[in-house]
Amino acid sequence: MDYVPAAVFLLLVCVASVAEAQSEQRLYRIGVLNQAWAANHPAVEGLKEGLREQGYIEGRDVMFDIRFTRGDPGATSAAAEELVKAGVDVIFTSNEPATLAAKQATQRIPIVFTLVGDPVLTRIVASLARPGGNVTGISSRATELAPKRLEVLKTLVPAVKRVWFVYHSSDITDTAALANLRDAARRLQLELIARAVNDSAETTQVLKEVGAADGVLAPVVDTLDIPAAVLEAARIPSVFPTALWVEHGALVSYGPSFRAQGVQAARLVAKILRGTRPQDLPVEGADRIDLAVNLSTARQLQLEVPPKILFRANVIQR
């Protein structure tokens, strides 16, 4: 008689396991939204890698519906609405405009963001601990790290006296970083010239004004393709927010890697797929900050990389 409840319990466990196994077998659709120029944004590659680590195999357990809008803020809202109409299970975003567009498009589908510099300031979440609504993600801590970027540039280029900060006028994160940057510039005895631009022509014009002995702080958000324009402006010592730029010719960067943010965010996506509500998942700060330096670019700029940078750098491009 004592065995009956145990048998019922076992049966229930079996039924639950089968049900769970069946739900695990479902093919989830992950919508991806960003402003990149191709589907292989490193944050997306990181997401795929992270989901694989969590046991979600592409084609078997998850499929990706990737929308990238080639730096065009106007196209982002339409792409977000398309993902909602397509009925994806989760929307994975990279950067503020994409996240805000997704948030605007749905209050129902869970959104997991990456590359958002300050999610509270940009009103993407109510608070980091209790994000509320259908949104959570990884904060790239951009406003907090901006002064450090200035410091890194000054350490690497001690002769620099004037640093230009060129950013998109409507970008909240870069605008918010400005106050921190001004404080840091004062402390480092640097003249900070902040220029908010509205279009590519203005960016080109501002970059022409940059003197040979000046430095440039690239913005975090790639709207209007400003970071690319800074990279292409030859022979200017510039500091970027992530190592990817340094791997492609920028002098130095300080900040979290795009790919690592994708991997980190995949853990949140996996929890959501297993049933956790996004509002119950606190926003996480990017857990790895890289200091990257390009020795070849330093050589071309006739800069000697000080041991202080070489010792601390965890990404060295030769």
Partner 1 sequence: MKRATAIGALVVLVAALYLTHGAQAQTPIRIGGSLSLTGTYSEPGQAQERAYRVCVKQANDRGGVLGRTVEFVVEDDRSDPGTAASIYERLMTKDKVNAVFSPYSSPITDAVANVTEQHRMPMVAAAASATSIFRKGRKFIFMVVSPAESYFEGLMEVAAKRGLKTVAVIYEDTIFPKASAQGMIDLAKRHGLRVVAAETYPAKTTDFSAIMKRIKAANPDVVAASSYFNDTVAIVRQMKEADVNPRMAGVTSGGDLPKFYELLGRSAEYLYGATQWAPEVVKVRAGGVIPVTRIYPGARQFVEDHEKQFPGVALSYQSAGAFGACQILLESIRRAGSLDHEKLRAEIVKFDGNTVYGAFRVDPDGFQIAHKMLMFQWQDGKKVIVWPEELAAVPARFPTPAWSKRP
Q: Return the beta strands (E) in the chain as ranges.
A: 28-34, 62-68, 90-94, 111-116, 135-139, 162-168, 191-197, 215-217, 238-240, 252-256, 284-285, 289-294, 315-317
Shortest distance, position 285 Cβ to partner 1, whole Å: 22
Shortest approach of partner 1 to residue 182 CB, angstroms? 28
Nearer Cβ to partner 1 (106/257):
257
Residues in contact with partner 1 by CB under 8 A are 36-42, 45, 68, 222, 227-228, 231-232, 234, 244-245, 247-249, 258, 296, 299-300
Give the list of residues 6+ apart from residue 46 with CB closer than 8 angstroms, or none: 114, 257, 258, 259, 260, 261, 262, 263, 264, 265, 266
- Measured between alpha carbons, how far is 206 from 198 in angstroms, rounded to an integer? 11
Q: Which is nearer to partner 1, 95 or 136 (CB)?
A: 95
Nearer to partner 1, 151 or 247 (CB): 247
For partner 1, the closer of residues 131 and 241 by Cβ is: 241
Q: Taking the complex as a whole, how short is the minimal distance between the CB of residue 50 and partner 1, in angstroms?
A: 16
Q: Could you tell me the end-to-end alpha-carbon distance of the chain, in angstroms, rounded to an integer?
A: 75
Q: In what order do the strands lie in the sheet with 111-116?
A: 62-68, 28-34, 90-94, 111-116, 135-139, 284-285
Nearer to partner 1 by Cβ, of 181 and 244: the residue is 244
Burial class (CB in 10 A: 0-12, 13-18, 19+), 128: middle
Under 8 Å between Cβ of 305 and 156: yes
Minimum CB–partner distance for residue 244 and partner 1 (Å): 6
Return the number of the residue (83 or 190) whose C-beta is nearest partner 1: 83
Least gap, CB of 275 to partner 1 (angstroms):
31
Which residue lies nearer to partner 1 by CB, 37 or 279? 37
Least distance from C-beta 235 to partner 1, angstroms?
Answer: 11
Q: What is the smallest separation between the CB atom of 248 and partner 1, expressed in angstroms?
A: 5
Q: Can you tell me the distance from the alpha carbon of 229 to that of 311, in angstroms, rounded to the nearest whole number? A: 30
Say which DSSP state 129 is in: S
The Cα–Cα gap between 42 and 59 comes to 20
